[in-house]
Structure 1
Amino acid sequence: MVGEGSERDYVQSIERGFAVLLAFDADRPSPTLAEVATATGLSRPAVRRILLTLQKLGYVAAVGSRWTLTPRVLTIGQHYAATHSFVETAQPHLLRLAEETQESASLAQLDGTDVVYVARVQVRRIMAVSVDVGSRVPAYATSMGRVLTAWADASVVDAVLAAGLPRLAQRTITDPTVFRDALHRVRQDGYAVVESELEDGLLSAAVPVRTPDGGVLAALAYSTTVGRRTEEQIVEKVIPLMQETAAAIGEDLRLLGGTRRLDAPARDGFY
């Protein structure tokens, strides 16, 4: 079956190559070879060979004794969007939601025990860390993750709990029983609102985006701060807009059927 394989099919060199690429982050934007080796746990000779290979392929560049990523790495993410037409389909709907609410709108999917932003329209920066397409946040402490895990298989919930629920902010849910109860409420309500669980003062909401057959494809999220909105205001005024937007995305997906891309005209705006 496609997607299944034994240990014999596992290519360790590819794993190490990705480990080296992922060693470049906000804390290490231009690391030395030794710093990459420390971050990955690989030997310096192995890291050197991998970096030289990535350099030849055009994904990294040497600057003196340090290394940097090149713009070519961005094409990896572009391939995801190109092969997942729903990202492009959702973009004009995210723009419209951001314009109507004057707050950031995002689309995210579950990846292991994290959620990954696959599309985003950012109106203002409200989080301490920069959030862009490709950013990862823990599923258990976010409205997006709450929605995605609420309708996921029991094994996914078990994996999230097994990874731990460390406290990230003043209201982070750290008790497994309370977390399961929260997921039950999300399934009952059809949406999630999370306040000060990922960061103090961060207030977010999410609703499911469903496939034509009713499965949950992604989470549509809205984020603001407690100084700008209350949970009650979000439930009363924002959630209905989000549910309409999610339904519109789902309807577009149904109408597009097997179409891979949506060739929509460019949309003017200040975002």
Structure 2
Amino acid sequence: MAQSSPLPRPGAADAGGAQVKSAVRTVELLEYFAGRPGMHSLAEVQEAVGYPKSSLYMLLRTLVELGWVETESTGTRYGIGVRALLVGTSYIDGDEVVAAAKATLDRLADDTTETIHLARLDGADVIYLATRQSQHYLRPFTRVGRRLPAHSTSLGKALLATYTDEEVRKLLPARLEPLTEHSHTDVEALIEDLHAIRERGYSVDAEENTVGLRCFGIAIPYRNPARDAVSCSVPVARLTPGREQMIRDALFDARDRLTLATRHL
């Protein structure tokens, strides 16, 4: 979905000269396409980014030639190119936390038989770095590289709970966009939730991201505030009190293992 207002731009970069400005625009275009799957017309892209149409067209053509942007047979619609996939894959392949967490994620998936995620906080969002799919037929699907609002996921709330209340207020807008009817929409209500998370040591996404799905998250404390977290997602229909306790215990065990695995980072 194209947004109606121009994308935010770092002001310091614009002051640096034409080459820096061009680089900023290139990155903003790639982020635009990365966040909006499918193909988009020049008019859609121009409305979202706010660049002059002629310079936008030339930049798009350059990115098409380099493989970072793709276009269909008419040459009038544009989407993210295969080069972006190669760069994204290299990030995952070279990440030390992803490598250190592999054995623990495998064990957690085997112990719970549910879907397991590893994600990283990026601004007000979380980005998924690794996934282990559920062994059950009914399974939620989240792809590696997906970005979701931190306030509506167990992963994000586990990470936000490692920040102070004031830091959370600065990081998030006062009005939070809901993904379901259960999502937080007020940052102060979210902060109350974060207080409870700090006390019990884990977070709960009570159908705040996907209706019918309950998720439990826990931060990996190799940094403070934490940067990465792991979660377990379970369909509500399959969640009993006993199973919930088992999942919480498995997450605490995984946190201890990940703390040891990442102690050198």
Number of aligned residues: 248
Report the RMSD for the aligned CA atoms in angstroms: 2.6
Q: Given the alignment, which residue of 226, 243, 263 partners 2:236?
A: 226
CA contact (8 A) 1:117 1:136 kept: yes
Question: What displacement does 1:196 show?
Answer: 1.6
Structure 2 counterpart of 1:18, from 6, 21, 27: 27
Normalising by structure 1, report the TM-score: 0.80
Aligned to 2:58: 49
Give 1:43's aligned amino acid. Answer: P
Quote the offset at 1:16 in angstroms. Answer: 1.6
- Counterpart residue number, 1:247: 256
Deviates most, 245-254 or 180-189 = 245-254
Change in CA separation of 1:167 and 1:121 when aligned onto 2, cut-off 3 Å: same
Kept in 2, the 8 Å contact 1:139–1:160? The answer is no
Distance in 2, Cα, partners of 1:162 & 1:67: 31
Q: What is the match of residue 43 of structure 2?
A: 34
Offset, 1:161: 4.3
Where do 4+ consecutive residues of structure 1 move more than 6 Å? none
Q: Which moved more, 1:32-41 or 1:102-111?
A: 32-41
Q: Does 1:61 align with 2:65?
A: no
1:133-157 per-position Cα deviation (integer Å, ceiling 9, x unaligned): 2211111111111111110244431
Contact 1:169 1:197 in 2 (8 A): yes
Secondary structure at the aligned position of 1:210 is classed as coil
Deviation sequence 1:116-135 (CA, Å, 0-9, x none): 112222236755xx521221
2:125: which partner in 1?
Answer: 114
Residue of structure 2 equivalent to 1:169: 180
Output aligned runs, 1:100-111, within 5 Å: 100-111=111-122
Write out aligned runs for 1:141-220 (5 A): 141-211=152-222, 216-220=226-230
**1:152-190 deviation line (CA, Å, top 9, x unaligned):** 244431134425223332322334433222111111100
User: Post-superposition shift, 1:59?
Assistant: 1.4
Shift in Å at residue 57 of structure 1? 2.4
State how far apart, in whole Å, the 2-side matches of 1:154 and 1:9 are.
35
The CA deviation string for residues 61-85 of structure 1, in whole angstroms up to 9 with x for no partner, is: 3332233433221122234234431
Say which is worse superposed, 17-26 or 218-227, in terms of deviation.
17-26
Task: Name the stretch that deviates more: 55-64 or 244-253.
Answer: 55-64
* Unaligned ranges ≥5, structure 1: 259-271
Task: Tell me if structure 1 keeps the 8 A contact 2:104–2:254.
Answer: yes
- Counterpart of 1:172, as a letter, is S
SS of alignment partner, residue 118 of structure 2: strand
- Alpha-carbon offset, residue 107 of structure 1: 0.9
Q: Take 1:201 and 1:172, find their aligned partners in 2: how far apart are those partners? A: 13
TM-score by length of 2: 0.82
1:35 maps to amino acid: E
One-letter amino acid matched to 1:22: E
Contact 1:107 1:219 in 2 (8 A): yes
1:92 lines up with 2:99 in the alignment: no
Once the two structures are TM-superposed, the CA of residue 38 in structure 1 deviates from its matched residue by 2.8
One-letter amino acid of the structure 2 residue matched with residue 217 of structure 1: R
Give 5+ residue unaligned stretches, structure 2: 1-10
CA contact (8 A) 1:193 1:203 kept: yes
